[in-house]
Structure 1
Amino acid sequence: MTKKVVLLDYGSGNIRSGERALQRVGADVTVTADFDAALNADGLLVPGVGAFEACMTGLRAVRGDVVVDRRLTGSRPVLGICVGMQILFAKGIEHGVETDGCDQWPGVVERLRPEAGEPVPHMGWNTVDVPAGTTLFDGIEKERFYFVHSYGVREWQLTDTRASVTPAVTWTSYGGDRFVAAVENGPLTATQFHPEKSGDAGAELLANWVRSL
């Protein structure tokens, strides 16, 4: 059965490239900000490009933070991409401005700190350090993925081991600076990189997510 995926249109993100990438892997995609459609789809994809504060403002304007929370309460899958991943954390700090995120995970989104000589943003292809037993990276553990960002989560803070599902955290490094590249935490998954810009490897990652819905 074809899986129905809503790509949340809240004014941020590579909407059309994300739509095409999902269609490529066989999903039935609707691009909308409609609350009920986003709540009831088999999967919800939350994109994001730009500043943390602007993305949170746009997300709240369409009650996207509420729909994410309600979906997760009902164990319904959500995938965040780039800033769409970052806003799932507790807060972001950009240019000295602290903004509350969705707080689905504890942690702070902050500016990358690569070694001297490495430019920010981190832009281009990079490898990732994948833990064993992930769903997203099944069959593509050694592939490279495409990153475009200046901020990231440099410390994973969710340490409560009472949960029935232990989060699988994938890391990467840029200029010696280590940060979270992806998380799989029950129904909530996210990538800092752009699978829709990551060629065949990105397509396979999206296909793995769609198959899991």
Structure 2
Amino acid sequence: MNNKQINFNTARFITSAPDINQMPEDSGIEIAFAGRSNAGKSSALNTITQQKSLARTSKTPGRTQLINVFELSEGKRLIDLPGYGYAKVPEEMKLKWQRALSVYLQHRESLKGLVVLMDIRHPLKDIDQQLLQWASESKLPVLALLTKCDKLKPGPRKSEVLRVREAVTVFGGDIRVESFSSLKGLGLDRAKEILSEWLLQDQDDEPAAASADGENA
């Protein structure tokens, strides 16, 4: 098993792009984070990088429409995609973003992994499932993080992780499901392990082996 790990603390803000066409050059390795507006995406990014305000946790709908790019080191980036499902965003804007997101997931050469964040109490909404389908069709590995897992006791938490793992098999592809809590740090090491695997893939002769299926909360 590959024990190499990225130092996520080095993450720094590079730019906010209003659309995919204005993102940095399509080279190197990107890992994108996507999730509903209340799924805890910004908090997860801040926890993984150990920077309290790297990703702004703003409730302003306009801010959620920007693609925020963070660089870990030369050629290695984390991409904070706009939150989706925000009730106050016009339907036309939602559809436009879904089309743009589809293009990004299917045609961005540097994109090597997708983190889909879902509240463990409300996972697999329609748009979440659409994201998983797009990723599967694009042969893109996915880490589905079930956030706010501290809201459930260990027993129900583990049951929900297993239920979602079973549910996502319908999409095929490489989809790993883990619980995560920004507040308690649950699942943090496992998340970093998987992200490091993706970011370091070009430096290894063989891909890192997946760990056991045990739930990591």
Same fold (TM over 0.5): no
Higher relative contact order by CA 8 Å / sep ≥ 6: 1 or 2?
Answer: 2
If the length of structure 2 is used for normalisation, what is the TM-score?
0.41
Structure (1 or 2) with the greater helix fraction: 2
Structure (1 or 2) with the greater strand fraction: 1
If the length of structure 1 is used for normalisation, what is the TM-score?
0.42
